Chain A
Amino acid sequence: MAVLYLGPGVILGLVLGANDGASIFGPLVAVGSIKRRTAILISSFFVILGAIFGGGEGVKTLSGLTTLDQYQISIALLAASTTVVLMMLLKAPASVSQAVVGSLTGIALIFGPEKTRWFTLTKIVLIWIVTPILASLLAFTIYRSLATIFKGLKNISIQDLFLKYASFIAVCYGAYSLGANNVANVTGAFVARGLNSSLAQFLGGICIGIGILGFSKRMTFVIGKSIILLDHFSSLVATFAVATNVFIFSLVGVPVSATQSTIGAVIGAGMSRGERLSSKRTKIRILLGLTLTPCLAGVVAAIFYSLLRGG
């Protein structure tokens, strides 16, 4: 029976792979710096490595967010998956991390505020706000540094080779960071209920990897093209910025949104080139995606829980 409770975790892993995997390689695939098939294959491998070797801290944080039992956690994860799938169907970039935290908190609130560890929740929310801002700043800084190297490359053949190999490395780095940071969303909450941490990281990593392999196509071009269409160099910068951002938070142990990081990084890289996010529709969709996700996930989780426990 305990294994059955992991089912929604597995589903969430697949959704996370589909949604956040695209956040990592979307900008690079959209401009053609790396082939989608190559990006998917290497990402699914490195995400597992990241989950195994770097996922420990995040798992610790999420296992201590609430005092829910296995059943409640499972429903929360199912609600989070449903929310993210809904957002994906609307082609709105949503955050799996926010959906998970939102749905866990949503169920916890049914039992009263004492079921939630408010200090942990506040820390997580503050970091959510910081995430896209830091990603933008990182993109800006990385742009300047990489530009110095790029300017030294005299001709187009060498520049193209540099962009191709650097894109490959950026995808590996990004996928590793994603695995390290986000595996906690998938199986972290089960660790407090007795699941072995290493096993949780391994299983979570596999699920995300399969999610990337099988379902990331739809979101790849949403992320890659709908915010600011970047050139090869800026896409590379954005991917490195996302990877570094997510990696930093995996060291801190707070699962952050790869999607939010990507949005921040893409805007930061675009601004380094003097471009602005001009489409009002895109702005609204991004804002809705980022603020609605945790709230919607909380409501969906509360509804699911009320229905499944019989009223």
Chain B
Amino acid sequence: MGWIVGRKEQEIIKKVLEHLDIMSVELSELRKLIEKYLNHDFDDIEQTAERVRYYEHQADIARREAETLMYSGAFLPNFRGDLLGIIETADKIGNKGEFVADILELEHPVIPEILNSQLLKLFDICVETYEALKIAIKYLFEDLEKIEEQVLLVEQKEHEVDGIERSLIKQIYRMDISNGHKFQLKELVRSIADIADRAEDCSDRVEIVSLKRRV
């Protein structure tokens, strides 16, 4: 009887949302990591980074499960491809989170204190961008009409991130530090901002799906 009410589809939706939720947890772990790092609280940096990696791995598992379920015949083929693209692009946000954790844990960059508040602000808005994307994806399965508004929010947040990113890089290049150091800090800033960029890429795909459904 499941096929009558779309049980397979419900299972996939559950998995997709689970994937997104796990990435939210990953980003909140990353937030803790950045905060500890900026406060020079290095004692359990490794453990926190490990938790970031753990949730990134869990997100990968949820993504693969959703993809496998999708190819068992749920949804119409056109949308199957679109949804697959959305999940894959969303997953890249988690990968970037792990990359930022790696920079902090493995490269141990020296971050001038003056950048702390801006860096945290940059990261927080990236998370807000991601959360807006998450709602947009949820709306695919709840109310297509609300997607547009959410996609606009993602764009707006990403634009905000761009501004902070530029101001941080400008600040870095005005500092009296070595070029290598500047480059390392710039990479950290760019990598954090990439979280929002990737969220925007994904929200573009969500928007296309909702446009394709217009009759």
Interface stretch (choices A52-60, A160-168, A254-262): A160-168
* CB of A46, distance to nearest CB on chain B (Å): 21
Interfacial residues of chain B within 201-215, with CB under 8 A of chain A in the complex: 209, 212-213, 215
Query: Can you identify 11 A-B contacts, CB atoms within 8 angstroms?
Result: A31-B77, A31-B78, A33-B76, A151-B215, A154-B144, A156-B140, A156-B141, A156-B213, A160-B79, A164-B76, A232-B76
Structural contact, A156 and B144, CB atoms closer than 8 A: yes
**B145 part of interface (Cβ distance < 8 Å):** yes
Interface residues of A (CB under 8 A from B): 31-33, 143, 146-147, 150-151, 154-157, 159-161, 163-164, 231-233, 273
Structural contact, B213 and A159, CB atoms closer than 8 A: yes
Chain A residues lying within 8 Å of B213, measured Cβ to Cβ, are 156, 159
Q: What residue in chain B is nearest A158 (Cβ atoms)?
A: B6
Cα distance A215–B144 in the bound complex, in angstroms: 41
Structural contact, B140 and A155, CB atoms closer than 8 A: yes
* CB of A154, distance to nearest CB on chain B (Å): 5
* CB of B15, distance to nearest CB on chain A (Å): 13
Structural contact, A231 and B78, CB atoms closer than 8 A: yes
Interface of B is mostly: helix
Interface residues of B (CB under 8 A from A): 5-6, 9-10, 13, 75-79, 139-145, 209, 212-213, 215
* CB of B152, distance to nearest CB on chain A (Å): 19
With A155-B144, A232-B78 already in contact, the answer to whether A160 and B6 are too (CB < 8 A) is yes
Chain B residues lying within 8 Å of A143, measured Cβ to Cβ, are 215
Cα distance A260–B76 in the bound complex, in angstroms: 27
Cα distance A160–B74 in the bound complex, in angstroms: 9
Q: What residue in chain B is nearest A144 (Cβ atoms)?
A: B215
Q: What residue in chain A is nearest B215 (Cβ atoms)?
A: A147
> Given known contacts A150-B215, A156-B140, what 17 new A-B pairs fall within 8 Å (CB)?
A31-B76, A32-B76, A32-B77, A32-B78, A33-B76, A154-B142, A155-B139, A155-B140, A155-B141, A156-B79, A157-B6, A157-B13, A160-B6, A161-B5, A161-B9, A231-B212, A233-B215
Cα distance A32–B80 in the bound complex, in angstroms: 11
Q: What residue in chain A is nearest B5 (Cβ atoms)?
A: A161
Chain A residues lying within 8 Å of B77, measured Cβ to Cβ, are 31-32
Q: What residue in chain B is nearest A149 (Cβ atoms)?
A: B215
* CB of A186, distance to nearest CB on chain B (Å): 34
Chain A residues lying within 8 Å of B209, measured Cβ to Cβ, are 156
Q: What residue in chain B is nearest A161 (Cβ atoms)?
A: B6
With A160-B9, A233-B215 already in contact, the answer to whether A154 and B145 are too (CB < 8 A) is yes
Structural contact, B76 and A155, CB atoms closer than 8 A: no
Max chain B CB contacts within 10 Å: which of A32, A33, A160, A273? Answer: A160
* CB of B5, distance to nearest CB on chain A (Å): 8
Chain A residues lying within 8 Å of B76, measured Cβ to Cβ, are 31-33, 160, 163-164, 232
Q: What residue in chain B is nearest A153 (Cβ atoms)?
A: B144
Structural contact, A155 and B143, CB atoms closer than 8 A: yes
Q: What residue in chain A is nearest B73 (Cβ atoms)?
A: A35
* CB of A141, distance to nearest CB on chain B (Å): 14
Q: What residue in chain B is nearest A159 (Cβ atoms)?
A: B213
State the 3 A-B residue pairs at the shortest beta-carbon distance, nearest first: A32-B77, A147-B215, A157-B9
Cα distance A156–B140 in the bound complex, in angstroms: 6
Chain B residues lying within 8 Å of A231, measured Cβ to Cβ, are 78, 212
Chain B residues lying within 8 Å of A159, measured Cβ to Cβ, are 213
Cα distance A235–B33 in the bound complex, in angstroms: 52
Q: What residue in chain B is nearest A154 (Cβ atoms)?
A: B143
* CB of B74, distance to nearest CB on chain A (Å): 9
Structural contact, B78 and A157, CB atoms closer than 8 A: no
Cα distance A164–B9 in the bound complex, in angstroms: 13
Cα distance A159–B215 in the bound complex, in angstroms: 12
Chain B residues lying within 8 Å of A32, measured Cβ to Cβ, are 76-78
Q: What residue in chain A is nearest B209 (Cβ atoms)?
A: A156
Max chain B CB contacts within 10 Å: which of A155, A156, A232, A233? Answer: A156
Chain B residues lying within 8 Å of A155, measured Cβ to Cβ, are 139-144
Cα distance A52–B194 in the bound complex, in angstroms: 65
* CB of B85, distance to nearest CB on chain A (Å): 14
Chain A residues lying within 8 Å of B78, measured Cβ to Cβ, are 31-32, 231-232
* CB of B14, distance to nearest CB on chain A (Å): 11
Cα distance A231–B13 in the bound complex, in angstroms: 23
